[in-house]
Every structure is written in C-alpha cells, then in structure tokens.
Amino acid sequence: MMESGKIRLKTLFPIKKKIKIVVRIVLGAILAVVSLCFVVLLIMSPGKIKQFTDENGRKLDNSLAEKCFVEINDVKMGMIIKSKDSSNPVLLFVHGGPGMPEFFLTEDYPTGLEEYFTVVWWDQRGAGLSYDSQIDQTTLTVDQYIEDTIAVTNYLRDRFEQDKIYLMAHSWGTYFGIQTVQKAPQLYNAYIAVGQVTNQDESEKLAYQYMLDYYEKTGDKKALKTLKKYDEASDGYKKIRDAFMHRAGTGTTHTMKSVVSGIFFASLENREYTLTEKINLWRGMLLLNQNDQLKMVEDLRNKVTTLDVPTYFFSGKYDYTVNYKMSEEYLMQLEAPVKGFYLFENAAHSPIFEEPDKVAQIIENDVFSNSNTLADMK
C-alpha cells in the first residue's frame, strides 16, 4: 500500500508542475496582449489636432484647428475649435449625455459644419477634456450647466469679437440648452436643436413600446423575453436600453447597431485625443451619466414656452432615443419669431452625423437668412 501511495504522489507532482506552467503561459499571453493593446492605443493617441490644409499640405489661411483649455466659472474646461475661416459665425455645440462629448464621432461622421461656422466642440463640466477627479460634485446641476453655457458663450463672443453666436444642442444638451437661450436670448443668433428633449419619462415609455413591437415583428423571441422582464423605469431596463435601441436602429444613428463598436471603439481610434484624454472621456461618462442632479425631470413643454430667437428643430425619423414626434409637437406650441421643424428620413438620433448634406442646405438657406422655407413644419 505504501509503495502504491508513493507512486500516486510521484505521478501527481509532474501534473501539478505542468498545470503551473500552463497557467504561467496563459497569464503571460494575456499580459502580452494587454501590453500590445496599450502600445497600439498609445501610438493611436498623439492628441494632435488636424489642421485644414490645401493640396500641397499647407495650412489654409485664416483656418483654425485647436484644442484649448479655459477657466469657466472656476473650472478648467476643454474645447476643440475647428473652422476653415475663423471669421465665420461661431457655433457652440452643446453635446449629449450627460457626459458624452461627440467630437470624436466626426472622424467617421464628418459634419462639414466647419465650412460655415467656427465650430466649438465644448466638453461640459466633468466631461471629456473637462474631466477632473477632484471636481466639486455639488456643482453638477442643471442650473450650473446653464450658467456654464452662458459663460462659454461670453468667452467666445469676446475672443472672436462677435456680438452673438449660434447655439446647437444635441439630446441631453437640448434639455439645458433651450433653457439657456430662454434665459439669455440676447447672446444668440438662433437656437438649433438636434433631438430636442420634451418630457423624457414620457418619451421612454414610447421607446419601450416601440422596441416591444419591433422585436415581436422581427421574431426575436429572446430579445422580446428579455425586454418583458422590465418596465421602462426600472434599473434593469436602463442597463440594456442602449444596446436594444441600437439593434433596433433607433439609437445614435440608424445604421449603428452597437454602442461598443460605434461609440466606444470609435473614441479609442480618434487620433486627436491623447490616451489620457480618451480614458477621461469614459471616466466623465461614468461620473455624470447616472448623476441624480442631472436627470431630465422637468417637462420642458411647460417650462419653456417662448424663445426670443429663431428656433430650428432637427429630428431623425427613426429617433426614439428622444421621440421625434414629441419634439415636433413641442415646436408647434413653442412661440418664436421664426421656427422650423426638419425631419431627416434616413436618420435616428444624430441627423448632423447621418445627413450632413441636408443639414448644410438648411444652414445655408434657412438658418443664415432667419427663414424656414425648407421646414417640414413651420
């Protein structure tokens, strides 16, 4: 019996040794892959802003392309400014989220806005280039964001010596963007809303029902079963919402079927951010996206009923992230000196990225002339 036990022990020792070797090889391979990915990301992240150049590679006269940091209401905030002619009207872009800067998307979805404007892609307090791990979180409120927008506007007015500028807001940005214009209309030539928020709780109910209908029609029983586990106000639904909306073609763009490939990887691939800035983009998203102080709780249809500037709403036909029909109905009741609702037939939540040629046409024909000749609803 003793001899038999010794043989078994001798047999076990080589097996344990082989397992240790295999584990070390696997861990080494994982470490090598991670290190390689880090090196590749570092190479892809020079953080240098692309300049506008002619066919000979020379920088265009009067063009502007820069990343700058400015102290706004006691917080250092970052912005990327692009223009083929810096004497053009200034357009301040107020991004969505909360906490989701959108400049990186212009790599795959060029807007062409820099042909007409000096475009300022401002990263809001706590987001992207404006991320700060030490930020006073009590300042992360809708009222503060309104004050920040006004302060950024005044900085741009002074810098570019323009009495008024244009404000374009997208998604979450429209929630406080429209309130900013209501509070300080004298600062703006016009307000352009892309996916204008109205009552987001009501919009979410419509989106949830749309997805139930969509996945039933497509015969995706697994998706339907998963959706039916939750209601639109539950935390469980919020965790799967974006993925299911993108699969249904009602998310960021009509053709973007995955948040991971369409947004996360896109942010990592953009070469105009440093690696630290890319990491901070997502740190800011985590900080702000579920912040209770930034929830869109008010019904803007009751809060903002009049704007004293020309007002334009851009909505995608497939937009259920912010329900486009609700946006249209809101504009119908909103009082403004000029107003126009524009429906983009091939777009979901981001018409400026999905149908830039039509946007350019509207800018040239309607926005710059304070008219609404191309509008679907006036």
Express each pLDDT in 185-194 by its tens digit.
999 999 999 9
Number of alpha carbons in the 13 Å side-chain half-sphere of residue 120: 29
pLDDT (tens digit per residue) in 241-254? 999 999 999 999 99
78 contacts 89 by C-beta, under 8 angstroms: no
Helix, strand and coil content of the chain, in percent to the nearest 5, comes to 50, 15, 35
pLDDT (tens digit per residue) in 123-157? 999 999 999 999 999 999 999 999 999 999 999 99
* Position 41 confidence tier, pLDDT thresholds 50, 70, 90: low
Distances (CA, A) of 331 to 45, 60, 344: 42, 40, 16
pLDDT (tens digit per residue) in 281-339? 999 999 998 899 999 999 999 999 999 999 999 999 999 999 999 999 999 999 999 99
162 contacts 340 by C-beta, under 8 angstroms: no
The pTM for the full model equals 0.91
Average pLDDT of the residues of the chain: 91
Residue 87 predicted with pLDDT over 70: yes
- Residue spans of alpha helices (H) in the chain: 2-43, 142-160, 172-183, 200-217, 221-227, 235-247, 259, 265-269, 275-288, 300-303, 324-333, 351-354, 356-362
CB burial of residue 204 (10 Å; 0-12, 13-18, 19+): buried
